[in-house]
Structure 1
């Protein structure tokens, strides 16, 4: 999930003489730069006040910084954000001017500019505002969110008019956890430090269960993966389909088909961390998962967190999802049919599959998804049982760097497991047949 929006920045006006060998007159350029520097400095002063007020949970101070021309919806959203930011607890939370996406001067729409003029505004600016935040207690790089704002000047001060996107008829900024009402944060001590669970009014029970399960989930993942990962996480227990869709970046997807999703603000890793990595749980997880089932999902998603910096998005899903399922389900079943009932029934009816599932079969809302996940799990369970957890992990790492052909996958099995790929797959199929007979 990319927490980015389009930023706009005023272009520097440069005036120079044409057709002359004389040095250009620097006066107009200097004046333009001075004006822009002064404008930016004044806007930053307002943004600093907004930062201070929101961190303190001072909704009255925030309201005083909002322009009379702002919509009631924008004013209410800032008030809600202020309450939630203060409730969640922030180590970092600050607005700034972000000039990394300079698109030139963009004018405020005429009808809004007329209203601002009537109110006595002497200037307006669609400012390339960036917001940087980090939750308190979680030792992770701050997340950068680009949020262009429209501001209006009155004498020597500026007021916030609204988000630039909606004012210009464009999409609103990507929602953040503070954009949904009633957020509360609970913290749990895990092996790598403090982990945070963010919950909402109707997901308090789920947040409590996740907080209690976190230390054990981290330990289970480290037992397989090792300790070379942060060993802490941020979890979000949503209480509405709209919140899950927005915070997981799965707008339009069927949230009933999944229990959780692991997302991040950036595909880049910083000092071994993936920026803004979050495990987002669906509202159905509140009542739809019994304790053991929730623990399986949590360990599965925590495996993705641990492996993220070693895993390309284009890696074969049978290895990334299969290993995560293996870690999640380890120790929770006795027979194949306990962990993979749909797949076991399919094998019993038609025999073991000829190949591992394709990426397309893992589409969460697709009809083949349960079979794909259970099939991938069974292969990981077979490899771990036959060759050991360490060999399964080394196979994962060998295949996690990106897309690979069937030949490349077979070669990885040869190099990491010491047996030809065809032999490994044949062994898996034989094992499946035996396990189904025993079920």
Structure 2
């Protein structure tokens, strides 16, 4: 049978041919060059980034040192010393405004006053309109850190926008976003303003020395009246809440709608409210609260009587005391109703005077039968008034039936943020021994009997 002829393998078949050697050598050299170039570029990039980072850190340290000296000059006995810190190319009026502000702030005693430049707070500013010469211009987003002596347990920090100039190794202020003009107009930007930005201050302390009232000279009578009210208001708050708060207070009286908005935020202009309490953001679970203030609107003095002034102060102080236990999203009938109860606690006014809108509804046979919804607070005046007064009556009913200690316990249980109806019922039952429905029915009956 025919067979295929056997062949002998070519033992040299896998050997590179002579012309392939130069190509292999060239390829190896190319690989080495590419790897070397990659390593070189990577190292150079890392080196450049490190150098830039070191330069940024050095620049930030220089600005921090400048801000430290700037803050010390602001707090000195001679504010005219600020002149050496303001750039020669600053807009007209900047130096005068800085001196004016420092002079006004001199009416207060600060346990802390300074500026902090956070990492990344410096960015190159556009050269448009920049001063001539060998100068660098930088935008600085800084934090004003301050604490009022005797009343602030912790310093508060407020954002301020500044523009700084660097000439050689010297830094100076080119623009300050927190400047307020003589006409009360604020500089456009995101800078916070304190009462000292709006002119000379009128200051009063309470008898115990643990509260401070800050306003302006034209408001001295109202400032003094608030100072006289604070001792009893603090005592009232502690009686209801307990000693678990600072038992200190800072009250500010705005001299204009613009100042009120600056102190409390853009969502308030003071046109429809007498006062509001504010505080810095609080981390969940933290008992440390800074920046707590009760701010009265410019119209408060003319709108409030002696009795309603004390009521508003006690209301807002309860918000201050309970701030560390209060979380956004909690039922408004709990948050505002408890503060309303605190404000009217021990009042000589009849219940119909405390809740006139609610009393009128009861007399007309239109007694509310449901707890007020969150959306009813702060809206249409009549609806809002009925919501606040209904919230007060719920809390007054709980205090009347279960006692003030249980009322405070219930606030602590319900002020922890958003919750389901089932969770609300469970917490009410755990504190009071009754569920939401029984509480609601009891409140409606109480309201009819007390306000009818």
TM-score (norm 2): 0.83
> Secondary structure of the residue that 2:43 maps to in structure 1?
coil
- Matches for 1:215-254 after TM superposition, within 5 Å: 215-251=231-267, 253=268
Deviation at 1:364, TM superposition (A): 5.5
Deviation at 1:397, TM superposition (A): 1.2
Are the equivalent residues in 1 in contact too, given 2:123–2:140 (CA < 8 A)?
no
2:189 maps to: 171
The superposition leaves residues 288-325 of structure 1 with CA deviations (integer Å, 9 ceiling, x where unpaired) of 21211111111100110111111112111101111111
The superposition leaves residues 39-61 of structure 1 with CA deviations (integer Å, 9 ceiling, x where unpaired) of 33443343222111100153321
1:280 maps to: 295
1:107 maps to: 124
> Secondary structure of the residue that 2:246 maps to in structure 1?
coil
Are the equivalent residues in 1 in contact too, given 2:178–2:192 (CA < 8 A)?
no
1:134 maps to: 147
Aligned with 1:54 (options 65, 74, 88) = 74
Are the equivalent residues in 2 in contact too, given 1:141–1:270 (CA < 8 A)?
no
2:368 maps to: 353
Are the equivalent residues in 1 in contact too, given 2:258–2:269 (CA < 8 A)?
no
Are the equivalent residues in 1 in contact too, given 2:204–2:213 (CA < 8 A)?
yes
Deviation at 1:255, TM superposition (A): 1.9
Deviation at 1:128, TM superposition (A): 3.8
Between stretches 178-187 and 236-245, larger displacement belongs to 178-187
2:103 maps to: 83
- Distance change (3 Å), C-alpha of 1:129 and 1:121: farther
1:14 maps to: none
Deviation at 1:328, TM superposition (A): 0.8
Q: Structure 1 CA distance, aligned partners of 2:348 and 2:383? A: 22
CA RMSD of the aligned region, Å?
A: 2.6
Deviation at 1:391, TM superposition (A): 1.0
Aligned with 1:185 (options 183, 203, 210) = 203
- Matches for 1:26-45 after TM superposition, within 5 Å: 28=48, 32=52, 35-45=55-65
> Secondary structure of the residue that 1:138 maps to in structure 2?
coil
1:157 maps to: 170
Matched, 1:98 2:115: no
- Distance change (3 Å), C-alpha of 1:98 and 1:270: farther
- Structure 1 runs not aligned, ≥5 long: 1-16
Are the equivalent residues in 2 in contact too, given 1:50–1:62 (CA < 8 A)?
yes
Matched, 1:401 2:420: no
2:377 maps to: 362
2:391 maps to: 376
Q: Structure 2 CA distance, aligned partners of 1:72 and 1:186? A: 34
Off by >6 Å, runs of 4+ in structure 1: none
> Secondary structure of the residue that 1:262 maps to in structure 2?
strand
Higher RCO (Cα < 8 Å, 6 or more apart): 1
Q: How many residues align?
A: 409
Q: Structure 2 CA distance, aligned partners of 1:414 and 1:28? A: 65
The superposition leaves residues 315-339 of structure 1 with CA deviations (integer Å, 9 ceiling, x where unpaired) of 1110111111111101214543121
Q: Structure 2 CA distance, aligned partners of 1:294 and 1:269? A: 32
Are the equivalent residues in 2 in contact too, given 1:98–1:146 (CA < 8 A)?
no
Matched, 1:311 2:313: no
- Matches for 1:195-210 after TM superposition, within 5 Å: 195-210=211-226
The superposition leaves residues 185-238 of structure 1 with CA deviations (integer Å, 9 ceiling, x where unpaired) of 322354xx6222111122211111111111110100111111111111111011
Q: Structure 1 CA distance, aligned partners of 2:82 and 2:298? A: 31
Q: Structure 2 CA distance, aligned partners of 1:216 and 1:274? A: 22
- Matches for 1:290-301 after TM superposition, within 5 Å: 290-301=305-316
Are the equivalent residues in 2 in contact too, given 1:58–1:82 (CA < 8 A)?
no
The structure that has the greater radius of gyration is 2
- Distance change (3 Å), C-alpha of 1:22 and 1:28: closer
2:87 maps to: 67
Deviation at 1:358, TM superposition (A): 0.7
> Secondary structure of the residue that 2:298 maps to in structure 1?
coil
